[in-house]
Amino acid sequence: MFKLKDYQGDALTALDGFFRKLRMAGLVEAWQECVPLQEKQGQTWQPAYNTEALGDTPAVCVRIPTGGGKTFLAAHAVPRVGKTLQDTDAPVALWLVPSEAIRSQTLTALSTPRNPCREALTSYFGERVRVCALDDLATVGPQEVGQSAIIVIATIQSFNVKEKSQRTVYSFDESFSRHFQGLTPQQEARLDRVSEADIAAQPYLTAADIGRVKASLANWLTLNRPIVVVDEAHNNRTDQAFRTLKNLHPACVIELTATPATNSNVLYHVGASALQREDMIKLPIVLMEHPTGWKDAVRDATLTRDRLEALAAKELDYIRPVLLFQAEPKNGEVTVEMLLEHLTSADGEKLDRKQIAVATGDQKELDGIVLADPHCPIRYVVTIEALKEGWDCPFAYVLCSLQDAKSAKDVEQLLGRVLRMPYARPRQQSELNKAYAHIVAQGFARVADQLADRLVNNMGFEAYEAAQAIAPVQNVLPLPDGGENPRPRPAEAVISLPSVPTQPVPEELRESIEIRPTTSGATAIVRGELSEAVEEFLLTACNAKQQQGVKDAIDTERTRQAALLAPSAQGVRFAPLPQLCLNWDGELQPVEKRLLSELGDFDLFSELIGLAGFSIVERGAAFEIDLDGGRVVYGEADSGQLHLNEVAAHATENDLVRWLDRECRQIDLGQATLIKWLLALVRHLQADRGITLTALVRAKYPLAEAIRREIDRRRKTAISVGFQKSLPGFLAAPRLEESFRYAFTFHPTHYPARPPYYSGRYRFKKHYYPVIHDLREKRADGTPAEEFLCARAIDAHPLVKHWIRNVEKEDRFSFWLPTVSDYFYPDFVCELTDGRILVVEYKGEPYKTNDDSREKAQIGHHWQQSSAGRCLFLFAVLEDEQGRNVGQQLEQAIQKC
């Protein structure tokens, strides 16, 4: 079964947390608690929850770039939100898409056995799930509602209309009548009723029908309070679309898009770098510009594809690289006909016409073709504009656009086609982990800027990601003799200026800067480093209002230069870091979560049976569930009818225990043990706490959440005891072969940086990656930030070869040390010039002596002491007890061994 990627799991966790908090504290407080999740370059997308569009209906957005698996993510979100928000494992969902092509593709993905999206649904629902088009919904019987999950796939256009009588989804339909019997007044109040306009549109209705509840598809959805998923939500943020959604009275709205509107309630955002780390997309895009004409671009693109196919033959998975050509429209120079002639002629590329498919408005040679089929001959696709929506081919590796890069339509959609990684797995041949673009244009920098803008504005990339995503060909292709590329000079930067500088270029900068006047101002060509002196001179061409735009352009070019010059981009390896190990059962093992659990000799029955923090209080027509101080209130309107706790439950005690076993299953707990403990707990809650079985069944979802928390608490207690008992035996892997076997290694392209990314004036020279995670140069009062001072001291030390700002809570991609409760991620990791490793944890004055800091210092020093001098640990503060500053503490730590 296809597993969730880390970023997808994190997005789902954010949704779970928001909806769980929503039920206990309300919309505003839930949003405020989730604001830190949205932080983007030091700002938030929506610091205050925006109720303008949908009022009190919870509506949140997950921003995920093109190629990030939005459909797969949503297939997991629907069942999880059903449980968290609605306490049901049989929700109704309305899944809205922007076009008929996407509707068909989504319907197929969610309905086809062995498709990852269908498997996601069945992992939660089993076979109790119906995926329907609008036309199929009338076949759903009342007995299925509440017993099976029902997911309706439709376009937003099916519901968008000012006059409801003009859309069939709002029309009276007798086949839905059976769903509207025995409704409560609260339910009827939300529903549309038959009007005179309906009678005019549907003659079989009479005046006697006016005012009765309308049996319609839209009313059926309203009755069942659907979870609404909006795919490509940026296409549907019109006033009419909002009115449409609001009229359906959804339980919630979950928007998925790469490019959310500025007023979207963005709950969680995913960067393109996360997709690269998870091998979902190919990066960088190797850009080759061809100023000498389109035939050279076609030739080199064809040669690139041929080389990739030769490399693909060495892979275990079948891959047949495909080249996408973007020809010019009929009034252009390189039309489809001219390109085909060149590709197949003896004077051109001499390609087999059977290997070429033309996909235009008139020619649809891709229809019915499965490009992943090993017997398919297609290696080249010729198009003009965007390929058909929903067309997907991870085998697409090379884009050759023969249109002008600045004005070419749909180039970002075609770029998206070549970014997807085959099988979502890294390739053994490194060239197959990249995408390739051949453009007819003058100058790399100008074209790179244009493509970067497309990546940011239309594909969900961060600005720094887009700047790093495009690489010049000389920086990524191997040399013919198999040697390594020399460290490259920065590519020339092209900066647009509003006017020609009034001062001449300073003598010391004349070899670096060339000024070319243009009709709109000037263009500065900068060769080499964009130094502070270069920036100061370029800003002389701007007035105060214009300077920020030029500064932004300079920062973008600096980011691109950093991407080229960073050690990680040059293939330099960061030294492996020995992990703490323990001799366990006669074998050396790393001290990770699995082993920590075993160290604690975790036993559910080691404490008395109980569930502190969980209670149920009946209050007439409503009841409250208290979960660790947070209260969820259930009322008559929540379920549509009243079931008192004193009424005997239809479910038995064993039914509830089996259900809890499925919901609370743990990898380190045997099923027999868990069931035995759950049965004892359920009996305790009834006999000793006075909670009826009916009440427990009604509150089974909060009950399961409380049980999961209790199991986790008991596990942590056991781990704490085992950790302290075993700590003296922890040691860094002692022998050379073990230090490599049990070591963490930073991956050159997998750095999970999160905002705010460093953007200060000081230029770090030794950071291993081109971007620095979560580092501010100054505090709110304008004084230097303490962690920045620590980073600057590290960067300036002559014995530091390179260093990394370590990313917390990323156990796959960051260095960690074990603690009693979790993993500890030190702030900075340094490789010294003599091969030793220095790890630095920095603490500000309020935190340097608390229990958490003492525990981290203890485990860090233990790691150092057990490493036989290979590893150093520094617990740094602004000024230590001897009066030493950070730089002096650093010097002492490096020199003392």
pLDDT value at residue 622: 55
User: How does strand 837-842 pair with strand 828-832?
Assistant: antiparallel
pLDDT confidence of 723, banded at 50, 70, 90?
confident
Across all residues in the chain, what is the average pLDDT? 86
pLDDT value at residue 122: 96
**Position with higher pLDDT, 443 vs 792:** 792
Q: Per-residue pLDDT for 734 more than 70?
A: no
Q: What is the pLDDT of residues 781-798, one digit of tens each?
A: 889 999 999 999 999 999
**How many C-beta atoms lie closer than 10 Å to residue 191's C-beta?**
18
Q: Per-residue pLDDT for 860 more than 60?
A: yes
Between CA 667 and CA 674, with CA 673 as vertex, the angle to 5 degrees is 60
Q: Per-residue pLDDT for 444 more than 80?
A: no
- Range with the lowest mean pLDDT among 134-148, 185-199, 346-360, 466-480? 466-480
Which burial class, exposed, middle or buried, applies to 203 when counting CB atoms under 10 A from its CB (0-12, 13-18, 19+)? exposed
What mean pLDDT is predicted for residues 840-868? 86
**Extended beta strands in 234-342, E state:** 252-257, 266-269, 285-289, 322-326
Task: List the structure tokens of 643.
Answer: 């079931």
Q: Per-residue pLDDT for 484 more than 50?
A: no
Q: Per-residue pLDDT for 636 more than 50?
A: no
The whole-angstrom distance between residue 753's C-alpha and the CA centroid of its chain comes to 12
How many percent of the chain have pLDDT more than 90?
Answer: 45
Q: Per-residue pLDDT for 479 more than 50?
A: no
Peptide bond connecting 486 to the previous residue in cis, omega within 30 degrees of 0: no
What mean pLDDT is predicted for residues 213-231? 93
Q: Per-residue pLDDT for 93 more than 90?
A: yes
pLDDT value at residue 477: 42
pLDDT value at residue 872: 95
pLDDT value at residue 647: 45
pLDDT confidence of 485, banded at 50, 70, 90?
very low
Q: In angstroms, rounded to a whole number, what is the distance separating the alpha carbons of residues 358 and 365?
A: 5
Domains of the chain (ranges; CATH) run 6-270 (3.40.50), 276-472 (3.40.50.300), 492-565 (no CATH), 614-726 (no CATH), 746-895 (3.40.1350)
pLDDT confidence of 94, banded at 50, 70, 90?
very high
pLDDT confidence of 166, banded at 50, 70, 90?
low
pLDDT confidence of 157, banded at 50, 70, 90?
confident
Q: Per-residue pLDDT for 527 more than 60?
A: yes
Q: Per-residue pLDDT for 807 more than 90?
A: yes
Q: In angstroms, rounded to a whole number, what is the distance separating the alpha carbons of residues 694 and 613?
A: 19
Q: Per-residue pLDDT for 642 more than 60?
A: no
Return the SS3 of 732: strand
pLDDT value at residue 78: 98
What mean pLDDT is predicted for residues 221-227? 95
pLDDT value at residue 44: 59
Nearest to 400 by CA among 525, 294, 496: 294
Using the structure block, give the residue that is written with the tokens 């504005």. 457
Q: In angstroms, rounded to a whole number, what is the distance separating the alpha carbons of residues 64 and 273?
A: 11
Q: Per-residue pLDDT for 592 more than 90?
A: no
Q: In angstroms, rounded to a whole number, what is the distance separating the alpha carbons of residues 828 and 405?
A: 41
Q: In angstroms, rounded to a whole number, what is the distance separating the alpha carbons of residues 636 and 626?
A: 18
Q: What is the pLDDT of residues 880-891, one digit of tens each?
A: 989 999 999 999
pLDDT value at residue 619: 58
Identify residue 442 by its one-letter amino acid code.
Answer: Q
Peptide bond connecting 284 to the previous residue in cis, omega within 30 degrees of 0: yes
Using the structure block, give the residue that is written with the tokens 């070899």. 511
pLDDT value at residue 474: 56
Q: Per-residue pLDDT for 643 more than 50?
A: no
What mean pLDDT is predicted for residues 714-743? 74
Q: In angstroms, rounded to a whole number, what is the distance separating the alpha carbons of residues 385 and 541?
A: 39
Nearest to 271 by CA among 558, 32, 62, 97: 62
pLDDT value at residue 107: 96
Task: List the structure tokens of 764.
Answer: 């770090």
Q: What is the pLDDT of residues 677-699, one digit of tens each?
A: 999 999 999 999 999 898 899 88
Nearest to 768 by CA among 602, 490, 612, 573: 573
Task: List the structure tokens of 855.
Answer: 């525990």
Q: What is the pLDDT of residues 336-361, one digit of tens each?
A: 999 999 999 999 999 999 999 998 87
User: How does strand 743-744 pair with strand 731-732?
Assistant: unpaired
Q: What is the pLDDT of residues 306-343, one digit of tens each?
A: 999 999 999 999 999 999 999 998 888 999 999 999 99
pLDDT value at residue 722: 81
- Range with the lowest mean pLDDT among 32-46, 276-290, 775-789, 850-864? 32-46
What mean pLDDT is predicted for residues 689-714? 90
Nearest to 149 by CA among 199, 93, 91, 100: 91
